[in-house]
Amino acid sequence: MQYILEILPSLFSGVVTTLEIFALTIVLSIPLGILVSLALTGKNIIKAIFEFYVWIMRGTPLLLQLIFIFYGLPIIGIVFPRFEAAVIAFVLNYAAYFAEIFRGGFQSIPKNQFESAKMLRLTRWQTLRKIVIPQVFKIVLPSIGNEVINLVKDSSLVYVIGIGDLLQAGNIATARDVTLVPLILVAVFYLILTAVLTLVLRKIEQRFDYWR
């Protein structure tokens, strides 16, 4: 118990870093994903460019992307600080997944919704804002939730570029003190984080349950 109290502060500061990366990625990658998904349903060349982007982001390991941005890009003179490099990698990667989720959502809106809106003479933007986006949001919520949970755990990959997140804090303590306790605590922290998020996501889904 004494030992747990001793290592808790370092674990907590790791949690803070993990949450920072998590929050920034969510806040930036979801809007970016929506924009990319609109581009994916767009015209030829723009569509091709963004399909290529999604292919790269989903087709290579996130770990490679992190290493590429932090250790690779400086070779050609592009240098990002650690934390910024991590956020850029996560946002680019998750936006690609979110884009595919939103694209699926947009495509599952029945054609009659667009035609009704057209016959009521709503503009394209009014149709999107009042009718399509609210419906897409409800459709994609479960999939978004999945990615959100994934992101909490994926954020541990930042240890590879030397960021002191939760996992790294536990790893250091285990190596130093030769005990399993820090790693078990790390697991408990992740479980608490994902449990809280699961609850929050369920609440959000329930809030959108008023129509079917």
Partner 1 sequence: MFQVKSLNKSFQGKTIIKDMNLDVADNEILSIVGPSGAGKTTLLRCITGLEKADSGKFFLDGEEIDPTDDSKSVIGVVFQDFGLFPNLTVIENIILAPQLVLKKSKEEALKEAQELIDKLDLTGKETLYPYQLSGGQKQRVAIVRTLAMHPKIICYDEPTSALDPKLSEEVGKIILDLKKQNITQLVVTHDVAFANQVADKVKEVKPFKEEG
Query: For residue 11, what are its two tokens?
Result: 């674990």
Residue closer to partner 1 (CB basis): 133 or 197: 133
Residue closer to partner 1 (CB basis): 120 or 192: 120
Q: What angle do CA 133, 193, 150 make, to 5 degrees?
A: 55
Contact pattern for partner 1 over residues 113 through 142, marking x by CB under 8 A: x-xx-xxxxx---x---xx--xx--x----
Which residues within the stretch 80-119 sit at the binding site for partner 1 (CB under 8 A)? 112-113, 115-116, 118-119
CB atoms within 10 A of CB 114: 16
Q: Which residues contact 19 (CB under 8 A, 6 or more apart)?
A: 193
Residue 153 contacts partner 1 per CB under 8 A: no
What b-and-e string marks burial along 32-44, b requiring 16 or more CB atoms within 10 Å of the CB? Answer: bbbebbbbbeeee
Which residues within the stretch 14-43 sit at the binding site for partner 1 (CB under 8 A)? none
* Binding stretches for partner 1 (CB under 8 A): 112-113, 115-116, 118-122, 126, 130-131, 134-135, 138, 210-212
